[in-house]
């Protein structure tokens, strides 16, 4: 399904469609004016409803939708290449059990990249190119603080956990802009919860390998990374929050809920600026 096919479909229903459009960009802006004439039932569900969202004029503009999708794509590129490199590194993954976990996560991240690319194309946008990554966090130098990331499994898991926990927070940080997004919002939520499953399993693996500092759990306690590196701290700052919608969760209604549990029970969002600052060292400018 490409954009021209969709326009041809529309033309059959609304012959004046091209009079109403001069550029593809303005097509997006004009879609609201010929709303419900077109049945998009033939279009595959996920892509179709994303398009319908734009067509019907939802909360965000098309530019916003494409921008958010490209933001997500950049993060998925980062994760996808990271796991592929890990799987390809000799003597990194210590056993078949661990390899099974990394393979499954890698499969999902690659699928997310493909899904987001097709979604961006379907709404008339252009997928951003994959950046050149530096998983040592050296900003392109290849000699950053995680220089042994593909030779030392502990370092690899530290970076994996940081990417997964950050990914969960990053999707959450854009949720408010997607209100009214229909299937498109649902798709973002469905990626978001998969990232959270990954994060939990990576954290369990870190505990099994005894590689963490403190008690690493599948959930985030306060603002603790359990990683002996200050570089990852911005991915955890703010997670110590125990107040939700103005309601204090610690000992709420006399239940004895601790600050640890109150912070673990809610994952916190990160803004785009915060996320870009976090991933900055992993991207060659």
Partner 1 sequence: MSRTKTEKDLALLAEKSSDNFSRRKFLGYAGLATALMAGAAACNPTNNLAPNDPVTGVSLGSGDVGILNYAYALEQLEAAFYVKVIMSQYSGITASETAGLTDIRDHEVAHREFFKNALGGMAIPALEFDFSSINFASRDSVLGTAKAFEDLGVSAYNGAGRLLVSPDYLVLAGKIVSVEARHAAYIRDILVRNSFADDSIVDAMGLDVTRKPTEVLPIAQTYIKTPIDASGLPFY
Return residues touching partner 1 (CB under 8 A): 46, 97, 100-101, 104-105, 107-112, 114-115, 168, 171-172, 175-183, 185-187, 189-201, 204, 217-219, 244-245, 247, 249, 252-253, 255, 257-258, 261-262, 264-269
Dist. CA 220–CA 169, nearest whole Å: 11
| Residue 255: alpha-carbon gap to chain centroid | 34
Closest separation between CB of residue 244 and partner 1, Å?
6
Residue 118 CB, nearest distance to partner 1 (Å)? 9
**Phi and psi angles of residue 283, each rounded to the nearest 5 degrees, phi first:** -120, 130
Contacts of 6 (CB under 8 A, 6+ apart): 43, 51, 122
Question: Based on CB atoms, which residue is closest to partner 1, 61 or 143?
Answer: 61
**What would the two tokens of residue 282 be?**
């992993």
Question: For residues 264 and 43, what is the distance between their CA atoms, to the nearest angstrom?
Answer: 40
Least distance in angstroms from the C-beta of 6 to partner 1:
20
Nearer to partner 1, 132 or 255 (CB): 255
Taking each helix axis from N to C end, the angle separating 62-88 and 45-56, rounded to the nearest 10 degrees, works out to 150
Longest Cα–Cα distance in the chain: 66
In the complex, minimum distance from the CB of residue 117 to partner 1, in angstroms, rounded to a whole number: 11
Nearest approach in angstroms of CB 111 to partner 1 is 3
Q: Toward partner 1, which CB reaches closer, 136 or 242? A: 242
Choice between 146 and 156, CB closer to partner 1: 156
Q: How many CB atoms lie within 10 A of CB 92?
A: 20
Cβ count near 235 (within 10 Å): 27
First to last CA, the chain: 34
Nearer CB in complex with partner 1: 17/192: 192
- Closest Cα partner for 195 from 161, 145, 239, 232? 161
CB of 131 to partner 1, least distance (A): 20
Closer residue to partner 1, CB minimum distance, 201 or 206: 201
How many residues does the structure list for the chain? 285
């Amino acid at each position: 399904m490409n954009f021209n096919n969709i326009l041809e479909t529309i033309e059959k229903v609304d012959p004046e469609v091209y009079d109403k459009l001069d550029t593809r960009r303005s097509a997006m802006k004009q879609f609201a004016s010929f709303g419900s004439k077109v049945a998009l039932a033939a279009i595959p569900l996920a892509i179709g409803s994303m398009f319908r969202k734009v067509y019907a004029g939802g909360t965000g503009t098309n530019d916003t939708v494409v921008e958010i999708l490209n933001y997500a794509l950049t993060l998925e590129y980062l994760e996808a290449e990271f796991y592929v490199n890990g799987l390809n590194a000799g003597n990194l993954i210590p056993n078949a059990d661990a390899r099974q976990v990394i393979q499954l996560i890698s499969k999902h991240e690659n699928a997310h990249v493909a899904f987001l690319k097709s979604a961006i194309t379907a709404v008339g946008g252009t997928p951003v190119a994959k950046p050149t990554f530096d998983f040592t966090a050296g900003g392109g130098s290849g000699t950053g603080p995680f220089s042994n990331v593909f030779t030392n499994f502990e370092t690899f898991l530290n970076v994996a956990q940081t990417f997964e926990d950050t990914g969960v927070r990053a999707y959450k940080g854009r949720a408010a802009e997607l209100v009214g997004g229909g299937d498109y919002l649902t798709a973002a939520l469905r990626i978001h919860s998969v990232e959270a499953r990954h994060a939990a399993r990576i954290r369990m693996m870190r505990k099994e390998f005894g590689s963490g500092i403190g008690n690493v759990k599948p959930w985030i306690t306060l603002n603790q990374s359990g990683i002996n590196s200050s570089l990852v701290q911005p991915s955890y700052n703010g997670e110590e929050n125990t107040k939700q919608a103005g309601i204090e969760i610690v000992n709420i209604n006399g239940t004895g809920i601790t600050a640890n549990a109150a912070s673990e029970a809610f994952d916190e969002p990160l803004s785009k600026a915060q996320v870009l600052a976090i991933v900055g060292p992993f991207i060659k400018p």
